Chains A and B, each alone.
Chain A
Amino acid sequence: MLDQTTVTADGRTIGGVLMDMRGITLRFGGVEAIKDISFDIREGEIRAIIGPNGAGKSSMLNVISGFYHPQDGEVWFRGERRPAMKPYQVARLGIARTFQNIALFEGMTVLDNIMTGRLTQMKSGMLAQAIWRGKAEKEEVANREKVEQIIDFLEIQAIRKTPVGRLPYGLKKRVELARALAAEPKLLLLDEPMAGMNVEEKEDMSRFILDVNDEFGTTIALIEHDMGVVMDISDRVVVMDYGRKIGDGTPDEVRGNQEVIDAYLGVAHD
């Protein structure tokens, strides 16, 4: 029943379950960061994870990208149970992400940063690269073309050869998105893509996220604090608080959920 496709109001097709988190529990020493959480992400949708600070949202993203290994629970991806994996292996499955505190390679140019995102697609061996002429150069050029498409798409042509360290914050966020997109991911994880942005930059970023989803059909899971943005662009929302899941559903359903309102507005303890 989960495999049936649905069509959203704006005409996009949402497919079957792409990623299924089942009973995830994550502990650091004695602290339970995530307590027995289950939710799924369906193909083609924009799925938001929200919650107050310290709710465990970033930890959840880290579990999905294989950086943390949960003590309990199963991660299912594309209909198969994913065994415990190193983060780089997860990346090769087609899961890319951006980071809350920008994690670009500051010593490299914008172009090199984005090209690094295509690493998972590039196959030529060390010997071929040492010789360069021939196989390695061809591969480089073919991948460069893909990267240039992404550069055009995100409108960052002018800063191609600029070292990332010199860029302003908003552009860095965009380059980071470009680097994640370069991997042509099945699932794109965005950790607070709009944190610290002004209204105009947020509008740009929202447009890019919607376009990515629309044009490439990329499934997106994002953490965001700006409720307006979340309610506008996401198809379904998971709400977390103190490591527990307290709500899950469409933006409208979640908005009406009493527990969610309590978590956000506080509740009188008697």
Chain B
Amino acid sequence: MSADFLYGIEVIINGLMAGVLYALVALGFVLIFKASGIFNYAQGVMALFAALTLVGIMEGQVPFAHLLNAIFGTDIHHFGWEVPALLAIFLTVLVMVAFAWAVQHFVFRHLVGQEPIILFMATIGLAYFLEGVGDLMWGSDIKTIALGLPQGGSFWVEDMTASLGGDDFYGFFIDKLDMVATVVAIVLVISLIAFAQYTKQGRAMRAVADDHQAALSVGISLNYIWVLVWSLAGIVAMVAGIMWGAKSGVQFSLSLIALKALPVLMLGGFTSIPGAIVGGLIIGVGEKLFEYTIGAPFLGGATENWFAYMLALIFLVFRPQGLFGERIIERV
């Protein structure tokens, strides 16, 4: 096998790994969209916020320290302790649940029955709000997550695969972190599906996703379910935030990377968890391959900025219902 071909395969493998992370963010979208019809633009910012919170708690930062200092003229920054990772994750989950409750209680409870596009714009407002709050709470400098996740290329994979090619090929370069992310994502998806299938709350969730009014009429509290899905989406966001954050630092661009989940959803459909995963993988592989074969050599590179959106756009023109959606019969 020629080295070029093998490098192509390496690009595909790395694309799949990136795709897993896109799928992870997209999963949060699907959860909320299925249950409430809200297209949650803020999902990316939720990932950023969760990661910021996690780092802040671990490092023992005082929330809103800058604001407090500015108002009261004090000079506090840290509590002076460090919180162990697992406890910090647990506390972050609590924060995300509180956030879910607040979002439902203060915003979307008042927007029930509005048009989807109004809800969408409200989530853009929510994204701005949350970004401002996140920065106010924890400061806006780039942070690193010290969870002890493995970093760097895996020599083991490199050594094992080096023999595949000739002398120009040194084995596949695969980031250990990506491998961890893939495993975590698979575990997360399986547990979500198990939750939806086998628990009482999960059944209620699916009932709400199917038909709001029917669910109401059998005594399911919509409010409760919505807080539940926002909490789950918050937890998924936290996982995505940890993975992305470990990869490229916890910073504002995290919320933009998460924007890539939108074209993923357009390919996979907004309501399908398998769709989100397949869509994520297609986008991940597609943009890496495009950059490798066409973008970098012919177009000056950085085509990853727009490739996903263009792909989704062109795809939708030919198949407006997405990959797995059924054909829509319009009625008058």
Contact between chain A and chain B defined by CB under 8 Å: yes
Does A103 contact B332, Cβ atoms closer than 8 Å? yes
Judge if B71 is at the interface, Cβ distance under 8 Å: no
> For chain B, what secondary structure do more than half of its interface residues adopt (helix, strand, loop), or is it mixed?
loop
Q: Which residues of A contact B330 (CB under 8 A)?
A: 67
Does B329 contact A67, Cβ atoms closer than 8 Å? no
Chain B, 308-332, CB within 8 A of any chain A CB: 329-330, 332
Q: Which residues of B contact A99 (CB under 8 A)?
A: 332
Does B332 contact A62, Cβ atoms closer than 8 Å? yes
- Please, how many angstroms separate the alpha-carbon atoms of A99 and B332 in the complex? 7
Report A71 CB to chain B, min CB distance, Å: 14
Judge if A264 is at the interface, Cβ distance under 8 Å: no
Report A32 CB to chain B, min CB distance, Å: 14
Q: Which residues of A contact B332 (CB under 8 A)?
A: 58, 62, 67, 99-100, 103
Interface size on A, residues (CB 8 A): 7
- Please, how many angstroms separate the alpha-carbon atoms of A230 and B332 in the complex? 23
The chain B residue with its CB closest to the CB of A65 is B332
Interface size on B, residues (CB 8 A): 3
Report B115 CB to chain A, min CB distance, Å: 11
The chain A residue with its CB closest to the CB of B327 is A29
Report A39 CB to chain B, min CB distance, Å: 21
The chain B residue with its CB closest to the CB of A67 is B332
- Please, how many angstroms separate the alpha-carbon atoms of A12 and B330 in the complex? 39
The chain B residue with its CB closest to the CB of A87 is B332
- Please, how many angstroms separate the alpha-carbon atoms of A62 and B332 in the complex? 8
Report A58 CB to chain B, min CB distance, Å: 7
The chain B residue with its CB closest to the CB of A191 is B332
Digit string of A101-112 for contact with B (CB within 8 Å is 1, else 0)?
A: 001000000000
Q: Which residues of A contact B329 (CB under 8 A)?
A: 28
- Please, how many angstroms separate the alpha-carbon atoms of A100 and B329 in the complex? 17
- Please, how many angstroms separate the alpha-carbon atoms of A99 and B329 in the complex? 17
> For chain A, what secondary structure do more than half of its interface residues adopt (helix, strand, loop), or is it mixed?
loop
- Please, how many angstroms separate the alpha-carbon atoms of A28 and B331 in the complex? 12
Report B117 CB to chain A, min CB distance, Å: 13
Chain A, 79-109, CB within 8 A of any chain B CB: 99-100, 103
Q: Which residues of B contact A100 (CB under 8 A)?
A: 332
Report A85 CB to chain B, min CB distance, Å: 16
Q: Which residues of B contact A62 (CB under 8 A)?
A: 332
- Please, how many angstroms separate the alpha-carbon atoms of A100 and B331 in the complex? 11
- Please, how many angstroms separate the alpha-carbon atoms of A58 and B330 in the complex? 13
Report A64 CB to chain B, min CB distance, Å: 12
The chain B residue with its CB closest to the CB of A97 is B332
- Please, how many angstroms separate the alpha-carbon atoms of A100 and B332 in the complex? 8
Q: Which residues of B contact A67 (CB under 8 A)?
A: 330, 332
Report A104 CB to chain B, min CB distance, Å: 13
The chain A residue with its CB closest to the CB of B329 is A28
The chain B residue with its CB closest to the CB of A62 is B332
Report B330 CB to chain A, min CB distance, Å: 8
Report B113 CB to chain A, min CB distance, Å: 14
Report B116 CB to chain A, min CB distance, Å: 16
Report B321 CB to chain A, min CB distance, Å: 14
Chain A, 45-81, CB within 8 A of any chain B CB: 58, 62, 67
Report B331 CB to chain A, min CB distance, Å: 9
Q: Which residues of B contact A58 (CB under 8 A)?
A: 332
Q: Which residues of B contact A28 (CB under 8 A)?
A: 329
Report A135 CB to chain B, min CB distance, Å: 34
Report A212 CB to chain B, min CB distance, Å: 21
Report A174 CB to chain B, min CB distance, Å: 19
- Please, how many angstroms separate the alpha-carbon atoms of A15 and B330 in the complex? 35
Q: Which residues of B contact A103 (CB under 8 A)?
A: 332
Report B320 CB to chain A, min CB distance, Å: 17
The chain A residue with its CB closest to the CB of B330 is A67
The chain B residue with its CB closest to the CB of A99 is B332
The chain B residue with its CB closest to the CB of A103 is B332
The chain B residue with its CB closest to the CB of A58 is B332
- Please, how many angstroms separate the alpha-carbon atoms of A62 and B331 in the complex? 9
Report B206 CB to chain A, min CB distance, Å: 26
- Please, how many angstroms separate the alpha-carbon atoms of A259 and B330 in the complex? 32
Chain B, 274-332, CB within 8 A of any chain A CB: 329-330, 332
- Please, how many angstroms separate the alpha-carbon atoms of A58 and B329 in the complex? 14
Chain B, 100-122, CB within 8 A of any chain A CB: none
- Please, how many angstroms separate the alpha-carbon atoms of A155 and B329 in the complex? 37
- Please, how many angstroms separate the alpha-carbon atoms of A62 and B330 in the complex? 11
Report A27 CB to chain B, min CB distance, Å: 11
- Please, how many angstroms separate the alpha-carbon atoms of A164 and B222 in the complex? 31
Report A29 CB to chain B, min CB distance, Å: 9
- Please, how many angstroms separate the alpha-carbon atoms of A250 and B217 in the complex? 47
Report A99 CB to chain B, min CB distance, Å: 6
Report A269 CB to chain B, min CB distance, Å: 31
Digit string of B172-204 for contact with A (CB within 8 Å is 1, else 0)?
A: 000000000000000000000000000000000
Chain A, 124-159, CB within 8 A of any chain B CB: none
Digit string of A198-234 for contact with B (CB within 8 Å is 1, else 0)?
A: 0000000000000000000000000000000000000
- Please, how many angstroms separate the alpha-carbon atoms of A214 and B329 in the complex? 37
- Please, how many angstroms separate the alpha-carbon atoms of A28 and B332 in the complex? 15
Q: State the B residues within 8 Å of A (CB).
A: 329-330, 332
- Write 8 A-B pairs (CB below 8 A) sorted by A numbering: A28-B329, A58-B332, A62-B332, A67-B330, A67-B332, A99-B332, A100-B332, A103-B332
The 5 closest A-B pairs by CB, nearest first: A99-B332, A28-B329, A67-B332, A62-B332, A103-B332
Q: State the A residues within 8 Å of B (CB).
A: 28, 58, 62, 67, 99-100, 103
Beyond A28-B329, A58-B332, A67-B330, 5 extra complex contacts between A and B, CB < 8 Å: A62-B332, A67-B332, A99-B332, A100-B332, A103-B332
